[in-house]
Amino acid sequence: MSDWKFSLDKNKVKFWINQVVNIEKKVVARIDYNFVSDDELLEMNKKFLKHNYYTDVLTFSENRGNRLAGDIAISIHRVKENAALIKTTFDQELKRVIIHGILHLCGYNDSTDKEKETMRKRESKYLMIYPV
């Protein structure tokens, strides 16, 4: 599966997530990421959310008050496809999907147009503070 190869600076990502979570007045207890195939994420979407469609990220919260805990599953195939569609880099789209999952843990939803707009604004804001 050579198309799965990518790298993340785990220290930068961890620092960034902690910055975002701090701004949102939350604390990280535990956040685990799982990078999966489109088909695996589709099956999770069907099983847990009863949605029969592909997605780029699913977030499973186990939060306790302001302490964030949960699992975030990301489809690398979907991230690559979305990056090509919106003409951005894989790295930038992956960061957007990561922060999207974090925002779900922070309590944001994206079911309505208004919620989607709020989510996109937050994603853009937090992408700008990713450490160089």
Low-confidence ranges of the chain (pLDDT < 70): 1-4
In CATH terms, the superfamily for domain 22-127 is Metalloproteases ("zincins"), catalytic domain (3.40.390.30)
CA-CA distance, 43 to 61, in Å (whole number)? 18
Per-residue confidence (pLDDT) for residue 4, from 0 to 100: 67
Q: Kindly state the tokens that stand for 100.
A: 């999207």
CA-CA distance, 56 to 61, in Å (whole number)? 17
The full set of domain ranges for the chain reads 22-127
Per-residue confidence (pLDDT) for residue 64, from 0 to 100: 96
Per-residue confidence (pLDDT) for residue 131, from 0 to 100: 85
Are 99 and 126 a contacting pair, CB within 8 Å?
yes
CA distances from 49 to 13, 42, 46, 59 (A): 27, 10, 6, 11
CA-CA distance, 42 to 40, in Å (whole number)? 5
Per-residue confidence (pLDDT) for residue 1, from 0 to 100: 41
Tell me the pLDDT tens digit for each residue of 82-92: 999 999 999 99
